[in-house]
Amino acid sequence: MDRQAHARKLLARRAKTPSVSTFLLEAVHRKAPIAAVLLGGAGYLYMNGNVTAAVGIAGFWLGCFLRDLRWYVDLVRAWPVTCELVDWTKVENIAQGGDGP
């Protein structure tokens, strides 16, 4: 991602403060396909008697989801400080195609 696109995404995120509910709503769209594949495969393995592999796959998916959730919770908690530290004038200038102030 180039600087201008990254700056635009940052400005869009500034307008919409992140929250845990935002993560969960986005997770439905981003994580549902991989969850369907992994958990479907785990269900198939479980039904065919391979309980150990099924539990391992389901545990892997759950662990990844909880890791991502924890990361986002940390992002939400740090967001007020991040907003204070970011030079928004420079970000706006980069988003418009400039090089900074």
Is residue 44 assigned to a domain? Answer: yes
Is residue 101 assigned to a domain? Answer: no
Query: How far, in Å, are 8, 54, 83 from residue 30 at the CA level?
Result: 21, 22, 26
Is residue 72 assigned to a domain? Answer: yes
What is the tens place of the pLDDT at every residue in 34-84?
999 999 999 999 999 999 999 999 999 999 999 999 999 999 999 889 888
Record the tokens describing residue 56, joined without a space. Answer: 């391992």
Is residue 5 assigned to a domain? Answer: no
What's the confidence (pLDDT) of residue 100?
59
Range of the domain at 66: 20-95
Is residue 74 assigned to a domain? Answer: yes
Within 10 A of 60 (CB to CB), how many other CB atoms are there? 12
**Count: domains in the chain:** 1
Q: Is the whole-model pTM more than 0.95? A: no
H-state helical runs in 1-101: 3-15, 20-47, 51-85, 88-95
